[in-house]
Amino acid sequence: MLKRETPISIDGPSGVLEGLYYEEPAARGLALICHPNPVKGGTMLNKVVSTLQRTARDAGYSTLRFNYRGVGASTGEHDMRFGEVDDAEAALGWLRAQAPDLPVVLLGFSFGGFVAGALSGREQARGGEIERLLLVAPAAARLEGVALHDGSQLSIIQPAQDEVVEPESVYAFSAGLSRPHDLLKVAECGHFFHGKLVELKELVAPRLA
């Protein structure tokens, strides 16, 4: 059976947000995936984002990926800071409304790692639960001073030859965390996981099982 996503529109803080939703009939949870830097061409169709969506789908999650303001058919203009977190918050609200009793996992790639991380902290501040937070090559500099949900299971996956996000910045961010978490280094791998998407899936899948 083909597992197709359905195009949706979400009421966002700056207008309509474009999304792709996959509904798993007997879902074990809900997965929101946040895409990379929109100023540098990042969209919800990015191949790393697509890999994360398929991995979550195959692990039994209903999934939602979406375009931030000013990307694709999403209205508004880039904010490149907390405006995109506002967008993610609206997307998460829509996703939670589909199945309010299911646990939530947040996945973010690059700039999307900052968005997912910042969103997790917002959720904790309002008493919301996040089961797992999975950050792939996260924009560590943007996460300076950002509170993460400390009740979630945290995994960080970092390419060792990342040419966009300095690996040492991610390692330093990881070392500065007092909470338990996974730091998984992918050898001989650049930022966009060229030739390493299967390995990425193999790292993510057991953490969603």
CATH homologous superfamily for 6-208?
Answer: Alpha/Beta hydrolase fold, catalytic domain (3.40.50.1820)
Compute φ and ψ for 109, nearest 5 degrees.
Answer: -115, 125
pTM for this prediction: 0.97
Q: Taking 70 as the threshold, does the pLDDT of residue 205 lie above it?
A: yes
Q: Do residues 28 and 102 lie in contact, with contact meaning Cβ atoms separated by under 8 Å?
A: yes
Q: Taking 70 as the threshold, does the pLDDT of residue 151 lie above it?
A: yes
How many Cβ atoms sit within 10 Å of the Cβ of residue 7?
9
Q: Taking 90 as the threshold, does the pLDDT of residue 2 lie above it?
A: no
Domain ranges within the chain, ordered by starting residue: 6-208
| Per-residue pLDDT, 3 | 83
| Per-residue pLDDT, 59 | 98
**Average pLDDT, integer, range 3-14:** 96
Q: Taking 70 as the threshold, does the pLDDT of residue 107 lie above it?
A: yes
Residue percentage of the chain with pLDDT more than 70: 100
For the purposes of burial, counting CB atoms within 10 Å of the CB of 96, is it exposed (0-12), middle (13-18) or buried (19 or more)? middle
Whole-number Cα distances in Å, 93 to 131, 144, 171, 185:
16, 25, 32, 32
| Per-residue pLDDT, 19 | 98
| Per-residue pLDDT, 80 | 83
pLDDT digits (tens, 9 = 90+) for 44-56: 999 999 999 999 9
Q: Taking 90 as the threshold, does the pLDDT of residue 118 lie above it?
A: yes
**Who's near 22: CB < 8 A, 6+ residues apart?**
3, 4, 5, 6, 53, 57, 62, 63, 64
Q: Taking 70 as the threshold, does the pLDDT of residue 1 lie above it?
A: no
